[in-house]
Structure 1
């Protein structure tokens, strides 16, 4: 075999082990016995040691050195690029540190869930302090004198920097705040959907909607979890959702959101299975798929017209009198604490808060013991509402408990990408609303699969979005234009 063939044979086994590690995470969040947490932490640490050893195996370095990348085709070059990047990054992190992060974050996730249920930040703070310390050590090892936060961000959005994202977010903030103020002060205020909705019926409906958006249940499943998520790639891509008897939209749109993630993974070229190209290229691009499925399509006037009729079939008469009122109920802008339940206008403001706080945590500017107060002060300043309990504040998200520092800004970047992609999609599939109004998103999801999802990791993040958009570089402008037009319509501004 050639050096490249030897490298890829070794890589395929590493990728398979990585999938097993991901399955452990899925199991922990869905069906793992409550008392199994300490053992799972040991299992996660052991597997991380194995993965770290493979990713830094000297043979990988030897193969990479021996390969003449210029002689390879585009797919092989992309594989080598990803493996080289991961080899360089992983080699900088001591195996003991990597294993300790895996062990502590597995335990921390369980402690966070308990603290969240009890609304007790002090119970979570000590283990969060340990997680932050470990991630600082990791960031310093990766940064090699550069910005530690950028080093963590690179895990989720290769090539992005905090300063670039800050400039983009600074451009978003004033127009979002202005739009929110105009919407909140509008004479017309859509009424909420009220009532009680059977939770088993919600799950049945979400499965129907998931299939309509292209989720392949032969290679996936839908379970319930505290924090909805998508897990896996290739032939086994699983999602979770949650239900509330008084809020069916939470279940429906959490599902559609996670289906966007899952379809991205399911639609990647099968030739890339168990290779570096066989997964989404970045979390920003991933989030663009979940957000475009959930918002630009799922919350559109066209799709909610179908959903209104379908929910009446499932639940009986609704409190909203017609499809227009239902569309307003789906897209209400209201003060709220929870990021995942936020409306489109305010969602990015939630993300920007987390982006700023986690940068301060990693830099040491903000101490963990002061996080709750810092969160509450910033939230009241940004949203005009006092946080009433930790589960509505700094304990609401799972991310920091599992060490995902650098992840949050990719949510807003994904929204920006989604705005660009929807503009391009509408230009090339002008009949999209006609299909959505019949509960048939297939034409739109096929365009996304053909123009972006199938490529997996073949291109760099910004490049794959730019290609899908016909060469137009991503910017925040299409997202802002979409939001301003949509909510001017909803609120009759």
Structure 2
């Protein structure tokens, strides 16, 4: 065996163990007994120790020095392994294990605090998570900004400064569009209640429409919908709310976007470094284009209207046009995951600024709730009513996922670029979507983006698919055109 072959054989086992660790997290969110938390925290810590030891094994350095890539695939695999090896080697094993254990415990503390509307119960644990992540970031970053080290874990090559420039360009047009829309009469909203089992049945149909294979996956319920796994085992979760079936349907479509990305990667890359999505921004581009540009467009909502009438009977919306407006209704709200396309990114920008301040030491954890509430009032014009609608609403910080939030908006930007290219490639797309056929759209995405996994860098991935460098312009143009039409602006 060559050095490259030996390295890839070792890496395959590491990737397999990483999948097992991910399955522990999936189980914790969906099926784990409530009182198993302390043991699961130990299990997470043990897996983190094993994975950390493998990722800094001295043989990796030797193999990397000797390996000679024969093609673009080998070059990309080596790039990912080298980046992980150099990054992981900077983090002490004890710190990695403590982070895994603490975030496992913090998740349950957050969930209970959220249920109890008790911020104070969560803050001591969040203080520990922030301190540990700041220690890790400092170890990795050296002389660079600690936050950038965390961000690079989710979006290789991105920096806080580069994203700030992009977000600063987004904010004025988003704020102006939001103000213009909220000055107009709002479309009707759904009323009544919708059976949970019926929601899940239509949700499963939607998953199939968008290309999700249940032969290599499953759909379960969770408080916070997510996708987990890659290759031949990619699982998603959704949630049901009796008065809001859109929450279930669009959570499902969103997670299907993530899952079909993983299922769509070339099988030759299974259990290799490039056999998974290249970054969270690119991942989010898939979930957002499925959920919004495809799932909320006029053609597809016309088909969905008929499906809902079949499932629930007359639910009070007069026709397909009215239903399209209802699906895309812009209204005041607190929850990021339930926000409309216009306001969603404003939620993300709030979190981006706050977590950068936390990591820089400019904002104390004890002051986080007040800072959140002040910023929310300034951005949205009304006050947070309770912690579960404010600082406790997201799971991410309890899990130590600092640097993750900005990839949501970056994913929206990427989705805007991909949608522009998709429309040019498939001029009859609306005719297909009106029949409930998302196959051509998902096939284009599989061909242009998904099959390559981590072969290219994030920016290169979008550039290869669209023929242009990523920019916020297509997203803003799309939003202004769409919502101007709906609201008669």
Question: Same fold by TM-score, threshold 0.5 exceeded?
Answer: yes
Assess if the C-alpha contact under 8 Å between 2:14 and 2:54 holds in 1.
yes
Native 8 Å contact 1:193 1:326 kept in 2: no
| Corresponding residue for residue 282 of structure 2 | 285
Report the counterpart of residue 472 of structure 2 in structure 1.
476
Q: CA offsets per residue over residues 131-173 of structure 1, 9 Å max, x none? A: 0000000000010111100000000000001100000000000
Deviation for aligned residue 1:270? 0.3
Q: Using the alignment, how far apart are the partners of 1:318 and 1:487 within structure 2?
A: 24
> Are residue 221 (structure 1) and residue 218 (structure 2) matched?
yes
Aligned residues: 489
Match of 2:483 in 1: 487
Q: TM-score, normalised by structure 2?
A: 1.00
What are the residue-to-residue correspondences of 1:77-88 with 2, within 5 Å?
A: 77-88=75-86
Q: Which residue of 2 aligns with 1:459?
A: 456
Report the equivalent of 2:95: 97
Query: 1:164: which partner in 2?
Result: 162
How far the C-alpha of 1:491 sits from its partner, in A, is: 0.6
In 2, distance between residues paired with 1:475 and 1:222? 34
Alignment partner, residue 450 of structure 1? 447
Q: 1: CA distance between counterparts of 2:271 and 2:129?
A: 30
Structure 1 position 114, deviation (Å): 0.4
Contact 2:4 / 2:68 at 8 angstroms: preserved in 1? no
Structure 2, unaligned stretches of length 5 or more?
Answer: none
1:337 aligns with 2:328: no
The residue correspondences of 1:365-404 to structure 2 (distance < 5 A) are 365-404=362-401
After the TM superposition, which residues 22-421 of structure 1 pair with which residues of structure 2 at under 5 Å, given as runs?
22-69=22-69, 72-186=70-184, 188-421=185-418
Per-residue CA deviation, residues 310-344 of structure 1 (Å, 9 max, x unaligned), is: 10000000211010110011000001000000000
Q: Deviation of residue 68 (structure 1)? A: 3.0
Displaced runs of 4+ in structure 1, greater than 3 A?
A: none
Give the whole-Å Cα distance in 1 for the aligned partners of 2:47 and 2:473.
44
- SS at the partner of 1:365? coil
1-structure distance, mates of 2:305, 2:74? 48
* Deviation by residue 1:347-376 (Cα, 9 ceiling, x = unmatched): 000000000000001011000011011100
Q: Secondary structure at the match of 1:145?
A: coil
Cα deviation code 1:51-97 (max 9, x no counterpart): 0000000001110011234xx21000100000000000000000000
Residue deviations 1:278-312, cap 9 Å, x none? 10000000000000000000000000000001100
Cα displacement (A) at 1:189: 2.1
After superposition, where does 1:12-31 map in structure 2 within 5 Å?
Answer: 12-31=12-31
SS of equivalent to 1:414: helix
Task: Check conservation: 2:254, 2:288, Cα contact below 8 A.
Answer: yes
Normalising by the residue count of structure 1, what TM-score does the alignment of the two structures yield?
Answer: 0.99
1:5 aligned residue: 5
1:424 maps onto 2:418 in alignment: no
Contact kept in structure 2, 1:415 and 1:479, CA below 8 Å: yes
3-state SS of the aligned residue for 2:153?
coil
In structure 2, how many angstroms separate the alpha carbons of the residues matched to 1:68 and 1:19?
27
Distance 1:34 1:288 in 2: 34
| SS of match in other structure, 1:237 | strand
User: Secondary structure of 1:171's match?
Assistant: helix
Provide the secondary structure at the position in 2 that maps to 1:154.
helix
Contact 2:186 2:331 in 1 (8 A): no
> Cα RMSD (Å) of the superposition?
0.5
Q: Distance in 2 between matches of 1:151 and 1:76?
A: 25
- Distance in 2 separating the partners of 1:16 and 1:334: 44
CA distance in 2, matches of 1:474, 1:432: 23
Instruction: Give, in whole Å, the separation in 2 of the partners of 1:87 and 1:434.
Output: 48
**Separation in structure 2 between the aligned mates of residue 122 and residue 432 of structure 1, nearest angstrom:** 50
Distance of 1:184 and 1:106 partners within structure 2: 41
User: In the aligned structure 1, how far is the partner of 2:261 from the partner of 2:284?
Assistant: 10
Q: Deviations over 1:107-147 (max 9, x none)?
A: 00010000000010100000000000000000000101111
CA distance in 1, matches of 2:381, 2:30: 35
Maintained 8 Å contact 1:149/1:362: yes
Structure 1 gap segments, 5+ residues each: none
Answer whether contact 1:89 1:142 (CA < 8 A) is retained: yes
The separation in 2 between residues aligned to 1:472 and 1:492, in whole angstroms, is 31
